[in-house]
Amino acid sequence: MPAERPTLPGPSHLEWPFLGDEHRALAAEVARFLAHAPATDAPAHAPAHADPHDHATTDAACRRWVRALGDAGLLRHGVPAPFGAHPAISSRALCVLREALAAHDGLADFAFAMQGLGAGPISLGGTPAAREAWLPRVASGDAIAAFALSEPDAGSDAGALACRATRTDGGWRLDGVKTWISNGGIADFYCVFARSDAASTGAKGVSAFLVPATTPGLDASARLATIAPHPLATVRLDGCVVPIDHLLGEEGRGFALAMQVLDIFRTSVAAAAVGFARRALAEALGHAGRRAMFGGTLGTQPLAQAILGDMATDVDTAALLTYRAAWQRDVTGTRTTMVAAMAKLGATELAQQVIDRAVQLHGGQGVASGAVVERLYREIRALRIYEGASEVQRLLIGREALKAAGAEGR
């Protein structure tokens, strides 16, 4: 069941005041790139209904996307100048790219996003030598990056990290376990967060380290399978020693560095959700216009029209939240904690509803393995969890709202 190529959002989207001519040019650039990119279920790529345990096929597909995105110059938007496309990473550029890539292929979006996220600690806290060594390779697609924060007992409560970093002669020894690590098993380097002060608790005393994948004592062979296949692994660090200059940022300030990186990329998660939702709406509209029903088409039925109306409204609501947050970070320079959390929460939850309705409108075809809307149904689910689960975003928004009202603690 070949997937039809999606189209990028029309002028009503790109002409919003949140975006400028450079973003419209970028949208046209990624559209040209995707016009020649393989469809999701093309033989050269992992099929839409890929076996989640077929890691070799998924790994190869992800590597191809990284290479293609690098060759096209699109990965340069995920790292700062002089290695990237902007003096500082542009939230709106990330969002335009991720929305378009997600609408085409969830693995394409994953490959793009993880390059920027995985290299983020180097972009913000790496030494000049580390930046020179790795960021050009990330931007070109020559090196694959991974962000290693989560642990078996430290997910949403990332301050509960147990991975240890111990000073040695001329370096740091890392011991512990990281899990749910995207690009685990195929990454060329990992940005690892570990507790460097054994007496510390919570977010204090955590440091960040650059760990090349070839470092003795690093094992990323324990692969994980999910409902929407992508490279994922548990990473074990056993007496893994890195040089002293592989510390990223200040000692003991690694958790703050991790939050800085996540703050940059959180709004782009919302954009990926918008991309999935737009594709689902497009598939539903096309199906409604084709599907014969009760002497007309599905689209002539009032109930279907009402469902499509809700879907269209939810897509634009999600997009408005997303691009408002990206605009605020890029243009005003003010804190975006609350608006980014609103975008991430709103877009992912609304996209889940949109895609669910698209599956429902497709009837039996919607749950057939390999159908576009079936793939989207699997792909959207993880976005409500990673980079801050919806429940965490709700708490964060509530706290920020109380602060703004001067009512915190009352």
Residues 54 and 99 in one domain: yes
Residues 213 and 88 in one domain: no
Residues 135 and 150 in one domain: no
Please identify which of the residues 387, 391, 400, 408 carries the catalytic annotation.
Answer: 387
The CATH number linked to 216 is 2.40.110.10
pLDDT tens digits for range 344-385: 999 999 999 999 999 999 999 999 988 999 999 999 999 999
pLDDT of residue 157: 75
SS (H, E, C) 29-67: HHHHHHHCCCCCCCCCCCCCCCCCCCHHHHHHHHHHHHH
Is there a catalytic annotation at residue 283?
no
pTM for the predicted model, two decimal places: 0.92
Residues 282 and 369 in one domain: yes
Residues 377 and 320 in one domain: yes
Residues 93 and 226 in one domain: no
176 within a domain of the structure (yes/no): yes
26 within a domain of the structure (yes/no): yes
Residues 118 and 150 in one domain: no
Q: Which of 144, 164, 184 is the last residue of a domain?
A: 144
Residues of the chain with pLDDT under 50: 1-3, 41-48
Residues 133 and 167 in one domain: no
Main-chain phi, psi angles of 171, to 5 degrees: -170, -160
Alpha carbon distance 345, 383 (integer Å):
9
Alpha carbon distance 382, 368 (integer Å):
20
Where does 126-253 have alpha helices with state H?
Answer: 128-140
pLDDT of residue 44: 37
Main-chain phi, psi angles of 194, to 5 degrees: -145, 155
Residues 192 and 234 in one domain: yes
pLDDT of residue 51: 66
Q: How many other C-beta atoms lie within 10 A of the C-beta of residue 333?
A: 8
User: Are 303 and 310 a contacting pair, CB within 8 Å?
Assistant: no
**Residue 25 C-alpha from the chain's centroid:** 22
Which residue range forms the structural domain that includes residue 206?
A: 146-252
pLDDT tens digits for range 71-130: 999 999 999 999 988 999 999 999 999 999 999 999 999 999 999 999 999 999 999 999
Q: How many other C-beta atoms lie within 10 A of the C-beta of residue 162?
A: 13
Residues 110 and 186 in one domain: no
Q: Which of 90, 125, 144 is the last residue of a domain?
A: 144
C-alpha neighbours within 13 Å on the C-beta side of residue 387: 29
pLDDT tens digits for range 137-149: 999 999 999 999 9
384 within a domain of the structure (yes/no): yes
Q: Which of 119, 144, 169 is the last residue of a domain?
A: 144
6 within a domain of the structure (yes/no): no
Residues 275 and 369 in one domain: yes
The domain tally of the chain equals 3
